[in-house]
Structure 1
Amino acid sequence: MSWAPLPRGRFTGIDWSAPGAIDGMDPYLAWAEADGFVGYHRPGHHDQPKWLPIVIGLREGADVRELVDASSSRWLQIPQAYLLIPGLRHCTARVSRRFFEHWRQGHVVRSLIERFELGLPVDQHTVALKDCCHRHQQPLPPPQRVPGPVLGLIDGGLAVANAAFRDAAGRTRVKHFWRQDNLYGGPWPGSPDHERVPLDPTRAGPTPPDLGYGHALTGHAIDSAIASFTRRGQLDEDALYRYLQLWDLARPVNHGTHVCGLATAPGGLLAPGLNDFASRCPVIAVQLDWANVLDTSGGALNVGVLDALHYIVAHAADDAEIVVNVSWGTLAGPHDGTSLLEAAMDELIERLDGRLQIALPAGNAYQSRTHANATLAPREALELHWRVQPDDRTQSFLEIWLPANAAGVAITVQPPERPAQAVTLRPGESGMWVDARGVPQWTLIYPTTTALGAHGTCALLALEPTFSREPGRALAPFGAWQVRLHNQGRTPVTFDAYVERDDVVLGTNTGARQSYLEDRRYDTQGNLGGWIDHADNPTPIRRSGVFNSLATGQRTLSAGGTRATDSGPERLSRFARYSPQKPSPDPQRPQRPGVKPAPDTLAPSDSNTALWGMRSTGSLSGSTVRLAGTSSSAPQVARRLLNALG
Structure 2
Amino acid sequence: MTATPPKPWQPLPKGVFTGTNWSQPGATAGEDPYLIWAESDHFAGYRLGHGHKPPKWVPIVIELTAQASVQDLVDASSTRWLQIPKVYVEVNLPTLRYCTARVRSAFFKHLRHNAHLRSLIQRYELGLPVGHHTHAIKNPCSKDGLTHLTQEAPSPGDRLTGKVLGVIDGGLAVANATFRRKQGTGATRVQYFWRQDNYYGGPWPGQATHGHREVPLDPERAGPIPDDMGYGHELTGAAIDEAIAQFTHNGQLDEEALYAYLQMWDLSRPVNHGTHVTSLAAGAVLPLNPQHDEASRVNLVAVQLDWSNVLDTSGGAMNVSVLDGLMFILARCADSAQVVVNISWGTLAGPHDGSSILEAAMDQLIELRNGQLKIAVPAGNAYQSRTHANATLQPGQSLPLNWRVQPDDHTESFLELWLQDGAEGVEIAVTPPGYTQALPVVRMGQSGLWMGEAHSQGSGAEPVCALIFPTSSALGTQGTCALLALAPTFSHRASVTTAPFGRWQVTLTNHGENAVTLDAYIERDDVALGQNTGAKQPYFEDALYDTSGNLEAWVDHPGNPTPIRRSGTFNSLSTGQRTVSVGGTRREADPTSPVGPFALYSPQKPDPDAGRPQRPGVKKVPDTLKPSDDNSALWGVLGTGSLSGSVVRLAGTSSSSPQLARDLINDW
TM-score (norm 1): 0.97
The percent of aligned pairs where both chains have the same amino acid is 63
Equivalent-residue separation in structure 2 for 1:138 and 1:529 (angstroms): 64
- Is the deviation greater in 34-43 or in 371-380? 34-43
Which blocks of at least 5 consecutive residues in structure 2 are unaligned?
1-6, 455-459
Residues 448-493 of structure 1, C-alpha deviations (whole Å, 9 max, x = no match): 0000001000000000000000112101110011000100000000
The offset of 1:42, in angstroms, is 7.8
Is the Cα–Cα contact under 8 Å of residues 161 and 226 in structure 1 kept in the other structure? yes
- Cα-to-partner distance string for 1:164-220 (whole Å, 9 max, x where unaligned): 00001610000000000001014799x9x9710000000000000111000000000
d(CA) in 1 for partners of 2:315 and 2:242?
39
Secondary structure at the aligned position of 2:59 is classed as strand
Pairs within 5 Å for 1:191-340: 195-272=213-290, 274-295=291-312, 297-340=314-357
8 Å CA contact 2:8, 2:440 repeated in 1: no
The corresponding residue for 2:485 is 462
1:480 and 2:503 aligned: yes
> Separation in 2 of the partners of 1:298 and 1:406?
28
> What is the CA distance between 1:507 and its match in structure 2?
1.3
Counterpart CA distance in 1 for 2:461 and 2:259 is 47
SS for the counterpart of 2:234 is: strand
**How many angstroms apart in 1 are the aligned matches of 2:222 and 2:127?**
24
Offset, 1:38:
1.2
The Cα offsets for residues 69-98 of structure 1, whole Å up to 9 and x where unpaired, read as: 111111111111111221110110111111
Given residue 384 of structure 1, which amino acid in structure 2 is its aligned partner?
Answer: L
Relative to structure 1, the CA distance from residue 623 to residue 82 in structure 2 (aligned partners, 3 Å threshold; closer, same or farther) is: same
| Aligned match for 1:170, one of 186, 199, 207 | 186
Relative distance call for 1:256 and 1:298 in structure 2 (3 A) is closer
Residues 279 and 286, structure 2, Cα contact 8 Å, conserved in 1? no
Asked if 1 retains the 8 angstrom alpha-carbon contact of 2:168 and 2:305, the reply is: yes
Distance in 2 (alpha carbons) for counterparts of 1:124 and 1:141: 21
How big is the alpha-carbon RMSD for the aligned residues of Structure 1 and Structure 2?
A: 1.8
Other-structure match for 1:489? 512
CA distance in 1 between counterparts of 2:97 and 2:348 reads: 25
Q: Which of 419, 422, 426 is the aligned partner of 1:405?
A: 422
| C-alpha contact (below 8 Å) 2:83/2:140 kept by paired residues | yes
Question: In the TM superposition, what whole-angstrom CA distance separates every residue of 1:399-431 from its partner, at most 9, and x where no partner exists?
Answer: 000011101000111101223452310010001
Partner residue, 1:533? 556
Residues of 1 paired with 2:48 and 2:162: CA distance?
41
When residues 361 and 94 of structure 1 are mapped into structure 2, their CA distance, relative to the original with a 3 A threshold, is same
Identify the residue that residue 159 of structure 2 maps to in structure 1: 145
* CA gap 1:268/1:507 in 2 versus in 1, 3 angstroms: closer
Match of 1:96 in 2: 104
Residues of 2 paired with 1:265 and 1:297: CA distance? Answer: 29
How big is the shift at 1:104? 1.8
Q: How many residues align?
A: 642
Rounded to whole Å, the distance in 1 between the matches of 2:72 and 2:583 is 40
CA drift of 1:158 comes to 0.2
Alpha-carbon displacement from aligned partner over 1:608-627 (angstroms, at most 9, x marks no partner): 01000000000000001000
Residues 615 and 627, structure 1, Cα contact 8 Å, conserved in 2: yes
**3-state SS of paired residue (1:572):** coil
1: distance between equivalents of 2:465 and 2:169? 32
Unaligned runs of 5+ in 1: none
Is the alpha carbon distance of 1:317 and 1:104 closer, same or farther for their aligned partners in structure 2, counting shifts above 3 Å? same
- In structure 1, the partner of 2:3 is none
Question: Deviations for 1:546-592, whole angstroms, at most 9, x for unmatched residues?
Answer: 00000000000000000011134336230000000011111101100
Q: Distance in 2 between matches of 1:44 and 1:613?
A: 45
Is the 2:203–2:214 Cα contact (8 Å) retained in structure 1?
no
Give, in whole Å, the separation in 1 of the partners of 2:440 and 2:306: 38
CA distance in structure 1 between the aligned counterparts of 2:289 and 2:472, rounded to whole angstroms: 50
**Residue of structure 1 equivalent to 2:617:** 594
Indicate which of 11, 15, 40 corresponds to 1:34: 40
The aligned amino acid for 2:399 is L
- Give the CA deviation at 1:22: 0.5
| Alignment-derived partner of residue 617 in structure 1 | 640
The verdict on how the C-alpha distance between 1:383 and 1:425 changes in structure 2, with shifts beyond 3 A counting, is same
Give the Cα–Cα distance (whole angstroms) in 1 for the partners of residues 629 and 166 of structure 2: 24
Q: Distance in 2 between matches of 1:233 and 1:401?
A: 58
How far is the alpha carbon of 1:374 from its aligned partner?
A: 0.6
Greater mean deviation of Cα atoms: 315-324 or 37-46? 37-46
Whole-angstrom CA distance in 2 between matches of 1:47 and 1:288? 27
1:181 is aligned, of 197, 209, 230, to 197
Instruction: Answer yes or no: is 1:55 the counterpart of 2:61.
Output: yes
Larger CA deviation: 338-347 vs 422-431 = 422-431
User: Contact 2:313/2:527 (CA < 8 Å) preserved in 1?
Assistant: no
1:89 partner letter: R
Q: 1:175 to 1:383 in 2, by over 3 A?
A: same
Of residues 76, 80, 90 in structure 2, which corresponds to 1:74? 80
8 Å CA contact 1:152–1:284 kept in 2: the answer is yes
Cα 1:296/1:474, change in 2 over 3 Å: farther
What is the deviation of 1:109? Answer: 1.2
Partner of 2:434: 417
Name 1:393's counterpart in structure 2.
Answer: 410
Code of the residue aligned with 2:217 in structure 1: it is L
CA contact (8 A) 2:585 2:626 kept: yes
Compared with structure 1, are the counterparts of its residues 7 and 43 closer, same or farther at alpha carbon in structure 2 (3 Å cutoff)? closer
8 Å CA contact 1:142–1:210 kept in 2: the answer is no
Note the alpha carbon deviations across 1:112-160, whole angstroms, 9 max, x for none.
1010000010111101111211115399963331112000000000000
SS at structure 1 position matched to 2:181:
coil
SS at match of 1:431: strand
**Could you tell me which of 114, 119, 129 is aligned with 2:122?**
114
CA offsets 1:300-334 (integer angstroms, 9 cap, x no match): 20000000000000001121010000000000000
Q: Deviations over 1:324-376 (max 9, x none)?
A: 00000000000000000000000100011110000000000000000000100
Q: Is the 8 A contact 1:38 1:46 kept in 2?
A: no
Task: Give the TM-score of the pair, scaled to structure 2.
Answer: 0.94
Runs of 4 or more above 6 Å deviation: 42-45
**How far 1:293 sits from its partner (Å)?**
2.5
Contact 2:41 2:49 in 1 (8 A): no
**Residues 571 and 601 of structure 1: is their aligned pair in 2 closer, same or farther, counting only changes over 3 Å?**
farther
Assess if the C-alpha contact under 8 Å between 1:297 and 1:395 holds in 2: no
Q: How many angstroms apart in 2 are the aligned matches of 1:296 and 1:441? A: 21
Bigger mean CA deviation after superposition, 38-47 or 570-579: 38-47
Measured after TM superposition, the shift of residue 599 of structure 1 is: 0.2
Alignment partner, residue 11 of structure 1 = 17
Moved more, 162-171 or 260-269: 260-269
8 Å contact 1:178–1:286 — kept in the other structure?
A: yes
The one-letter amino acid of 1:467's match is: F
- Is the CA contact (8 Å cut-off) linking 2:177 and 2:285 kept in structure 1? no
Distance (whole Å) between structure 1 residues aligned to residue 341 and residue 51 of structure 2:
36
Note closer, same or farther for the CA distance 1:291–1:341 as it changes in structure 2 (3 Å cut).
same
Match of 1:604 among 627, 634, 643: 627
Matched, 1:504 2:527: yes
Cα distance change, pair 455–136 in 1 and its aligned pair in 2 (3 A): farther
Summarize the Cα distance change of 1:187–1:48 in structure 2 as closer, same or farther, 3 Å threshold: closer
Q: 1:268 to 1:212 in 2, by over 3 A?
A: closer
| Counterpart residue number, 1:569 | 592
Counterpart amino acid of 2:13?
Answer: P
Query: Which amino acid in 1 is paired with 2:226?
Result: P
User: Take 1:278 and 1:355, find their aligned partners in 2: how far apart are those partners?
Assistant: 16
SS in 2 for 1:142: coil
